[in-house]
């Protein structure tokens, strides 16, 4: 599969990548599927790296419901790329 050449064979239309070759759209779909897989794996790895037992006493003091909501918030922030309050 050759994607790099001297001509301009790709464009972005309606926020979608288009390759101007007969097999172009299938190539785009394969690229997107690969990128999605890599991004999902990165998010999974980042979430697994969070040490949720660092401050166990404070977590238990907050109660189970609040603790679960906090974990949910942390995971959501990791998924959207905000880690430790940073973009």
Residue 27 has pLDDT above 70, yes or no: yes
pLDDT for res 85: 52
Give CA 33 to chain center in angstroms.
12
DSSP state of 45: H
CB-side exposure of 56: number of CA atoms within 13 Å?
1
pLDDT for res 44: 93
Give CA 57 to chain center in angstroms.
31
Angle (deg, nearest 10), helices 64-79 and 24-48: 140
User: Using one digit for the tens of pLDDT, what is the confidence trace for 36-54?
Assistant: 999 999 999 999 998 888 8
What are the Cα distances from residue 35, in Å, to 32, 51, 63?
Answer: 5, 27, 38
């Amino acid at each position: 599969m050759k994607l790099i050449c001297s001509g301009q064979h790709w464009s972005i239309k309606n926020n979608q990548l288009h390759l101007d070759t007969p097999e172009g759209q299938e190539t785009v779909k394969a690229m997107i599927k690969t990128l999605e897989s890599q991004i999902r794996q990165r998010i999974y790895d980042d979430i697994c790296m969070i040490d949720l037992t660092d401050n166990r006493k404070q977590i238990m003091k907050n109660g189970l419901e609040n603790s679960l909501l906090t974990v949910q918030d942390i995971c959501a922030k990791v998924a959207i790329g905000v880690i430790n309050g940073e973009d």
